[in-house]
């Protein structure tokens, strides 16, 4: 028998983990000799292994001698067989008890009772070594009913440009960058509604097996859990003296005399930078007294983004994540290609047939989409395959294979952050009626602070443009909206932009329309965009300039390109190898 897990201070005692009984001594694998067979009287000519005596020896193992598995279990029944996962479940259960997450009560009448399950995750370091075995008890919140056991659910998370700008600010001012997360973050949130849940598998109270858990604290899986955690954390920070950023509510700012601190929240992962070490230590002491901090130290990996210091600044990349995507798709031995998308799609008899495994297609697309956080060079190609997730074809999967083959040769590529000039500039472009199915245009723009790329966008336009001028003008309007937000955010970081932000566009007609109220039959329906852009030109927020199409950096975000042109624009985006 494996010893039961019995926390000393728990009001709910876990049940005993049991396995099939075995002898005291665990036998080693044993080979069984082939049996002696009687003479066969069958006249059938087929010779089987049973007849010839060439049976493969059977290997008998004692379950208690099976080595610890490094594979992640998908169910409680799989995890219970291994000590590492049993310990992980016990640690999670103790944390729940310590937080006073629930109390056991008789099942209420006419109240929905949620189920729960264990979810397992094998945490690894950036070098791929096992860090820890993590078990999480998750409520089955998909059965919650609005107005009964949940109401509001929205919780902000940090925008990715905000993360890049925070790192760039700390680099520019030579401030330390600290990262930390909070253990069992969601368990700190206080529930406002009555929520009932079944007792967790493996930890059912022996004396009251029919009782249910009345939740006092939020738990993972509940719809309102992220919101309640965010509220709990920000309340503590506001009491310390932080205020919310108006541009990004997940950014909190502390300003007192000459002291400046910036704290960025992404669920339970936090980034902190500032110019006063004593205030930082006071803040960390306050957080430790309320929450359980872990992984405190200089920034290394944040949200799966590996952050390396270089002689010139910082380098952001997702090489480990890209390697995992390629391995999961079975392309570790594939031949690299020079571009992530072909100039002309493949047309074969089977290309239009539905892809046999749409779940695999969607999983790969989702993974590739997250990879674009540091790889804008694949943003257009990933945007193209994202449009076919509802009903992928064989041709669509070939497009994914092309992206994976491109990544095979560029796994170490990433985004450098360089200090220096902090002036904001933007490049914007559009590809008119590029989609042959719906004839909608593609908008692409990218924004730099100095020589550092901080924001970019690839997006299909909502409506069909009647002319290339209209498509470019729509793209210019989208880029202006993003610039205005970036200018507000930079002002809160103390990086105000006193001069108008330069926008580089290669369409002379769109630029003319932005400066002059010339409306006729082909442009009068975009008058709202004109007033929006013209207003900010007149007020000095933006300045639109013409640029030659050959120098248009945003061109890589709107269309497939030849290998030479693609490599040229990728260099302009500053995407390069970590070994460069």
Is the pLDDT at 261 greater than 70? The verdict is yes
| Gyration radius (Cα) of the chain, Å | 29
Question: How distant is the alpha carbon of residue 449 from its chain centre?
Answer: 24
In 194-276, which ranges are continuous DSSP H helix? 225-240
Residues near 372 by Cβ (< 8 Å), separated by ≥ 6? 378, 379, 382
- Residue 49's alpha-carbon distances to 32, 58, 59, 546, in angstroms, are 15, 14, 17, 80
Of residues 389, 384, 420, the one with CA closest to residue 312: 420
Class level of CATH domain 420-547: alpha beta
Mean pLDDT, to the nearest integer, of 439-463? 93
Is the pLDDT at 238 greater than 90? The verdict is yes
pLDDT tier at 579, thresholds 50, 70, 90 = confident
pLDDT for 72-91, tens place per residue? 898 999 999 999 999 999 99
pLDDT for 273-308, tens place per residue? 999 999 999 999 999 888 888 767 888 889 989 999
Show the 3-state SS of 138-181.
EECHHHCCECCCECCCCCCCCCHHHHHHHHHHHHHHCCCEEEEE
Rounded distance, CA 568 to CA 144, Å? Answer: 52
Of residues 194, 410, 373, 177, the one with CA closest to residue 275: 177
pTM passes above 0.75: yes
| Predicted local distance difference test score (pLDDT) of residue 64 | 37
Mean pLDDT, to the nearest integer, of 480-502? 95
Is the pLDDT at 568 greater than 90? The verdict is yes
């Amino acid at each position: 028998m494996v010893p039961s897990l019995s926390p000393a201070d728990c009001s709910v005692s876990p049940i005993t983990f049991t396995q099939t009984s075995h002898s005291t001594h665990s036998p080693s694998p044993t080979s069984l000799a082939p049996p002696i067979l009687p003479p066969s009287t069958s006249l059938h000519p087929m010779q089987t292994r049973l007849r010839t005596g060439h049976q493969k020896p059977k290997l008998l193992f004692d379950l208690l001698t099976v080595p610890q598995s490094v594979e992640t279990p998908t169910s409680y029944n799989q995890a219970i067989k291994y000590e590492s996962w049993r310990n992980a479940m016990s640690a999670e259960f103790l944390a729940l008890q310590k937080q006073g997450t629930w109390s056991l009560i008789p099942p209420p009448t006419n109240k929905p009772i949620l189920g729960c399950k264990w979810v397992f995750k094998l945490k690894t370091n950036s070098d791929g070594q096992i860090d820890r075995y993590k078990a999480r008890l998750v409520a089955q919140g998909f059965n919650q009913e609005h107005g009964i056991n949940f109401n509001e659910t929205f919780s902000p998370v940090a925008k990715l440009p905000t993360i890049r700008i925070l790192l760039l600010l700390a680099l520019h001012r030579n401030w330390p960058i600290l990262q930390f997360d909070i253990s069992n973050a969601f368990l700190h949130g206080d529930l406002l509604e009555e929520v009932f849940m079944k007792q967790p598998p493996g930890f059912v109270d022996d004396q009251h097996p029919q009782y249910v858990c009345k939740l006092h604290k939020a738990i993972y899986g509940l719809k309102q859990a992220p919101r309640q955690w965010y509220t709990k954390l920000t309340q503590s920070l506001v009491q310390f003296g932080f205020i919310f950023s108006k541009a990004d509510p997940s950014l909190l700012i502390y300003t007192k005399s000459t002291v400046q601190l910036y704290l960025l929240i992404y669920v339970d992962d936090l980034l902190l930078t500032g110019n006063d070490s004593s205030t930082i230590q006071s803040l960390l002491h306050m957080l430790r007294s309320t929450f359980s901090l872990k992984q405190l130290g200089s920034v290394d990996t944040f949200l799966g983004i590996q952050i390396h210091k270089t002689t010139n600044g910082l380098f952001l990349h997702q090489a480990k994540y890209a390697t995992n995507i390629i391995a999961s798709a079975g392309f570790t031995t594939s031949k690299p290609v020079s571009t992530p998308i072909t100039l002309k799609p493949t047309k074969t008899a089977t290309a239009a047939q539905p892809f046999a495994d749409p779940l695999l297609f969607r999983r790969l697309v989702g993974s590739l989409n997250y990879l674009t956080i540091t790889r804008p060079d694949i943003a257009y190609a990933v945007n193209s395959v994202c449009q076919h997730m509802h009903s992928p074809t064989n041709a669509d999967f070939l497009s994914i294979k092309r992206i994976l083959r491109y990544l095979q040769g560029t796994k170490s590529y990433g985004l450098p952050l360089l200090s220096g000039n902090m002036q904001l500039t933007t490049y914007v472009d559009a590809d008119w009626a590029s989609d042959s199915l719906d004839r909608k245009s593609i908008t692409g723009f990218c924004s730099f602070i100095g020589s550092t790329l901080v924001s970019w966008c690839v997006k299909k336009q909502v409506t069909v443009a009647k002319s290339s001028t209209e498509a470019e003008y729509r793209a210019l309007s989208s880029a202006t909206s993003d610039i205005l937000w970036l200018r507000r955010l930079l002002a809160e970081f103390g990086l105000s932009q006193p001069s108008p932000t330069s926008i580089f566009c290669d369409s002379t007609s769109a630029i003319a329309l932005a400066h002059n109220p010339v409306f006729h039959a082909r442009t009068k329906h975009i008058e709202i965009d004109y007033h929006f852009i013209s207003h900010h030109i007149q007020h000095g927020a933006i300045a639109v300039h013409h640029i030659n199409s050959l120098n248009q950096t945003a061109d890589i975000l709107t269309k497939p390109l030849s290998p030479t042109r693609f490599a040229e624009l990728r260099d302009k985006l500053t995407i390069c190898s970590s070994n460069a």
